[in-house]
Amino acid sequence: MTLHFDDALLKRGYVLAEEFNRPTAYDAQYLALAERLACEFWTADERLFNAVTARFASIRWLGNWSS
């Protein structure tokens, strides 16, 4: 496990929270981290998925997962 924590990441998360009018900043922190790592971001939060999917092509909603 790797801990990612720095001011730039926190600031980017807050910018994303504001940009997408998210009620809590923690969701946006995950978005900021996925953006930084250029990786997929899986979420069970359908509202978050719907709010950002047009801008974040790497976001995935668990409701669409199939084995």
Model pLDDT, residue 55? 94
Q: Confidence class of residue 1 from pLDDT cuts 50, 70 and 90?
A: confident
pTM of the model: 0.85
Q: Is the pLDDT of residue 38 over 90?
A: yes
7 within domain boundaries? no
Give the chain's mean pLDDT.
92
Task: Report the half-sphere exposure of 66 (CA within 13 A, side-chain side).
Answer: 1
Task: Report the half-sphere exposure of 33 (CA within 13 A, side-chain side).
Answer: 14
6 within domain boundaries? no
Looking at per-residue pLDDT, the higher value among 67 and 58 belongs to: 58
Model pLDDT, residue 2? 83
Structural domain for 37, as ranges: 12-64
26 within domain boundaries? yes
3 within domain boundaries? no
What does the pLDDT average to over 36-64? Answer: 94
